[in-house]
Structure 1
């Protein structure tokens, strides 16, 4: 059977990453399912397909027409580290049941389902086993594969799980996941930046030809012992880490205090969290010369912040409490409520904002009062970075980080920085790239190429809208490679 005769249905189609890969190989789309208005318009506009082919909300589809291949990029937020990791407790997690119901009802010859790598994390083991069990009950032989988009022709580190299944065991037994391509696409291949020839370790490097193996789990790029990116972060330390005290005009003494806090904040003697605020008393036990006024000055400089850490529960209080407030107070010990104990209680499921609101409410109701403040870095959300910058990637980088619907605080440098020593490398980056603002976010055209779409793929003008669409899509070359492997089993002959 020729590939052109493969009839497929595209569930959770988004902007058509599956469709582009299949159509390029002659596949025929006989219908798709999507509810996002921007995605529907983009899909129909780029592929010149009638909106009448949209089946709409998958939860309302009772029956699919006969087809050979079913594809689905099931919404991933339930399993993503960027979400709340609620799995099947999230309505979006339940969409797996709707997908498998339609698989069982329509019985195509094969299918491909895509999701974030979080689905294979140990905490989601039971969920993945449940999904595979349901697929087996639907009459299919299936397995899951962890693939990185960079291995198949895009300059992006994008690790995803692909579940591939066949109705007949003979074809499942013949299926092999696609092999990684030898010549990788790297960031310099797609950036709209004029770059000179670059010397590295006295050897000429062809920016548009070099390629190195990228481990499937790595998210960044390095060569010759040097990172090809700079991380803006106060909670980590490394040769290419930029801290807020590197950017602001600080003294050596202030830098030393910040590094002392950075070095000690993860020690278990200071609390149960992976990173703990430290009190003045605790800091002075490490270095007695540090005084209150020095810490307060760093607070005023917006490098540190003060957090309420320990609270006394007022026994005389008879104020009415909400259920959440009452639940929070259950974790008090000997009349004291402590921040690290609260945050390590999985049963509470509180985000930082909700917890802060509850504590403020209890203070206002005079149910608790703060008896200890501690010092922490102001920039504590790793993905937010510093002043809106998480990472800046040099043009020599192999990959760009995973594109996500919410956009990221990742940028690309507009010029290369020579690597000599660790100290000079960081200094030159700050002087020649950061302080001179020789960096920017990726463009719409570059984002398309990073996902394997053509440069001229039509997307909305608004960055937030096109970033949501491109970040939610699958990488086209990965799907193309999977289709080739499926076709090679002769399942469609």
Structure 2
């Protein structure tokens, strides 16, 4: 086993550390500022808080070490975020990381981020990061990897940038072969007979296409915006007539057509419905509104008055009118709207309240239009036969599992058995803390906070341990650490704290030194840690 030292930046709860220690690494310090994460890290590794370097934005240097790891906070590049990239200050934490890489110059590094950083829309940002790595004298490779391929039953696609100070080691760096499906959902669920539920790996499909031996999806999607053999709709859950079901399917079939708007899914007016089926009456649509299946959407607004005392946000909303008309579609899809942190519907309602605009066209859409929310608090229910679970996220999801297997010869029987024996009987549940750990590749007995919101935030923000272990092994296999003696850790490491200067003169912008998380005292019991409240956006006036 190799001997090498490493420093764990943006350490979280220690996913990188677990992986690197398993292949011979010795941690000589970590950097983390979230109190829950610090406490969890120290508890599990029996680490003294003096090993925490604290806020990375104030670090001028670090002790010498062989390997640097960093799971740079990813919100700026995440699809779940606002996709503002370096327009978002949080993206500047890359500058802080690269400054320390250039300053301390370890033999190698592993940097992790969300897949969004490798997407075309962020091509310039990734190019910027790679250029800085090159200017620091490192040779790097970009790897977009799915945790499902390396030993966990979870689709978790992340970008891993691995670099070496000497090119000869990069040339020897080879990823291990993938082993998709070696661990499946039934292997991590408590109270489940894994042997009975385990599938062959002949079809290594994505989780969204995962199916059992009969070809039926092994999960049920609760959604009004999509349709499929294992999709459950609002009109399946509550009592509705065949006529009402047909109207719902009519909207479902046509709402994505370009003729009705520019969005991925567009509301339809009464005239639109009647063009499709002349027999449809307004009161039928209103009845579906009363049932909570449809909702009214104010779609077109006429601008009546622009007052001098309106806020800048309000005046900008009104400036989006074309020929005196504001189109809800156009406004909602505006990137500027996201930058201003405005909600299109709320903003137009506020303007209508003061008489600045008036709705001149109303349409109908499904009430539940957020796919991830699902219906009645349920997004998806996964059967134990499923090979893979969706990406664990810090905010948790409305995804559930059942340990009951369903056997059926027809899709109709499959759906019926699901509704009768699982959904209507409530025979499903959220994954437990222990199961979440296994899904991320952590030990099931890993110490985490007691409340679900807190442990889910920590585990959802972590890395999949087996992926990092595979990368660490590949680095070790290059021979970069050969002949090194056993590492001795010096306690109570001291580091110099100062404002961070610009990393490279070729780039004009200095790194942002104000972190987006408030540094706090980590010497605090779990029961006394209060959750940080999210800031409300406020209205536009």
* Common fold: TM-score over 0.5: yes
Q: What secondary structure, in the 3-state scheme, does the structure 1 residue paired with 2:326 have?
A: strand
Q: How does 1:19-98 map to 2 (within 5 A)?
A: 19-98=17-96
**Which deviates the most, 412-421 or 165-174?**
412-421
Count how many residue pairs are aligned between Structure 1 and Structure 2. 481
Asked if structure 1 preserves the Cα contact closer than 8 Å seen for 2:145 and 2:159, the reply is yes
Which residue of 2 is the match for residue 473 of structure 1?
462
Q: Does 1:246 align with 2:244?
A: no
Which residue of 1 is the match for residue 264 of structure 2?
274
Q: Does 1:402 align with 2:397?
A: no
For normalisation by structure 2, the TM-score amounts to 0.86
Q: What secondary structure, in the 3-state scheme, does the structure 2 residue paired with 1:440 have?
A: coil
Asked if structure 1 preserves the Cα contact closer than 8 Å seen for 2:207 and 2:389, the reply is no
In the TM superposition, residue 491 of structure 1 has moved relative to its aligned partner by 1.0
Which residue of 2 is the match for residue 430 of structure 1?
419
Q: Does 1:324 align with 2:324?
A: no
In the TM superposition, residue 183 of structure 1 has moved relative to its aligned partner by 6.2
Q: Partners of 1:467 and 1:65 in 2: how far apart? A: 32
Which residue of 2 is the match for residue 283 of structure 1?
273
Per-residue CA distance 1:38-80 (angstroms, 9 max, x = gap):
1111111111111100000100111010000000111111111
Q: How does 1:330-349 map to 2 (within 5 A)?
A: 330-349=319-338
In the TM superposition, residue 325 of structure 1 has moved relative to its aligned partner by 1.4
In the TM superposition, residue 182 of structure 1 has moved relative to its aligned partner by 6.4
Q: Partners of 1:57 and 1:444 in 2: how far apart? A: 28
Q: 2:433 aligns with which of 437, 444, 447?
A: 444
Q: Partners of 1:212 and 1:20 in 2: how far apart? A: 31
Q: 2:255 aligns with which of 260, 265, 274?
A: 265
Which structure 1 residue ranges, 4+ long, deviate > 6 Å from structure 2? Answer: 350-353
Q: 1:487 aligns with which of 462, 476, 488?
A: 476
Asked if structure 2 preserves the Cα contact closer than 8 Å seen for 1:13 and 1:73, the reply is yes
Per-residue CA distance 1:301-326 (angstroms, 9 max, x = gap):
000000111111115x5452211111
Per-residue CA distance 1:263-318 (angstroms, 9 max, x = gap):
00011111111111100011101001110111000000000000111111115x54
Asked if structure 1 preserves the Cα contact closer than 8 Å seen for 2:142 and 2:160, the reply is yes
Q: Does 1:144 align with 2:142?
A: yes
**Which deviates the most, 164-173 or 177-186?**
177-186
Asked if structure 1 preserves the Cα contact closer than 8 Å seen for 2:197 and 2:405, the reply is no
**Which deviates the most, 353-362 or 54-63?**
353-362
Asked if structure 2 preserves the Cα contact closer than 8 Å seen for 1:220 and 1:229, the reply is no
Q: How does 1:95-134 map to 2 (within 5 A)?
A: 95-134=93-132
Per-residue CA distance 1:143-184 (angstroms, 9 max, x = gap):
110111111111111111110000001101111122213661
Q: What secondary structure, in the 3-state scheme, does the structure 1 residue paired with 2:343 have?
A: helix
Q: 2:166 aligns with which of 159, 168, 173?
A: 168
Q: Partners of 2:429 and 2:116 in 1: how far apart? A: 29
Q: Partners of 1:318 and 1:344 in 2: how far apart? A: 25
Asked if structure 1 preserves the Cα contact closer than 8 Å seen for 2:192 and 2:384, the reply is no
Gap change, CA 1:182 and 1:350, over 3 Å in 2: closer
In the TM superposition, residue 347 of structure 1 has moved relative to its aligned partner by 3.0
Gap change, CA 1:351 and 1:309, over 3 Å in 2: farther
Asked if structure 2 preserves the Cα contact closer than 8 Å seen for 1:17 and 1:476, the reply is yes
Q: How does 1:349-368 map to 2 (within 5 A)?
A: 349=338, 354-368=343-357
Which residue of 2 is the match for residue 221 of structure 1?
210
Q: Does 1:311 align with 2:301?
A: yes
Please list every run of 5 or more consecutive structure 2 residues that lacks an aligned counterpart in the other structure.
483-541
Q: What secondary structure, in the 3-state scheme, does the structure 2 residue paired with 1:92 have?
A: helix
Which residue of 2 is the match for residue 203 of structure 1?
none
Q: Partners of 1:471 and 1:280 in 2: how far apart? A: 43
Which residue of 2 is the match for residue 202 of structure 1?
none
Q: What secondary structure, in the 3-state scheme, does the structure 2 residue paired with 1:139 have?
A: coil
Q: 2:286 aligns with which of 296, 318, 321?
A: 296
In the TM superposition, residue 100 of structure 1 has moved relative to its aligned partner by 0.6
Q: What secondary structure, in the 3-state scheme, does the structure 1 residue paired with 2:264 have?
A: coil
Q: Partners of 1:344 and 1:353 in 2: how far apart? A: 12
Asked if structure 2 preserves the Cα contact closer than 8 Å seen for 1:143 and 1:163, the reply is yes
Q: Partners of 2:203 and 2:475 in 1: how far apart? A: 25
Per-residue CA distance 1:128-157 (angstroms, 9 max, x = gap):
111111111111000110111111111111
Q: Partners of 1:221 and 1:88 in 2: how far apart? A: 36
Gap change, CA 1:182 and 1:433, over 3 Å in 2: closer
Asked if structure 2 preserves the Cα contact closer than 8 Å seen for 1:10 and 1:71, the reply is yes
Q: What secondary structure, in the 3-state scheme, does the structure 1 residue paired with 2:316 have?
A: helix
Asked if structure 2 preserves the Cα contact closer than 8 Å seen for 1:79 and 1:85, the reply is yes
Q: Partners of 1:181 and 1:62 in 2: how far apart? A: 41
Per-residue CA distance 1:193-243 (angstroms, 9 max, x = gap):
23497xxxxxxxx4347445535x654522342111110110011111110
In the TM superposition, residue 419 of structure 1 has moved relative to its aligned partner by 3.3
Q: What secondary structure, in the 3-state scheme, does the structure 2 residue paired with 1:146 have?
A: strand
Please list every run of 5 or more consecutive structure 1 residues that lacks an aligned counterpart in the other structure.
198-205
Q: Partners of 1:183 and 1:310 in 2: how far apart? A: 49
In the TM superposition, residue 374 of structure 1 has moved relative to its aligned partner by 0.5
Gap change, CA 1:416 and 1:43, over 3 Å in 2: same
In the TM superposition, residue 350 of structure 1 has moved relative to its aligned partner by 6.3
Asked if structure 1 preserves the Cα contact closer than 8 Å seen for 2:401 and 2:430, the reply is yes
Asked if structure 1 preserves the Cα contact closer than 8 Å seen for 2:337 and 2:343, the reply is no
Higher relative contact order (CA 8 A, sep 6+): 2
Q: Partners of 2:340 and 2:377 in 1: how far apart? A: 21
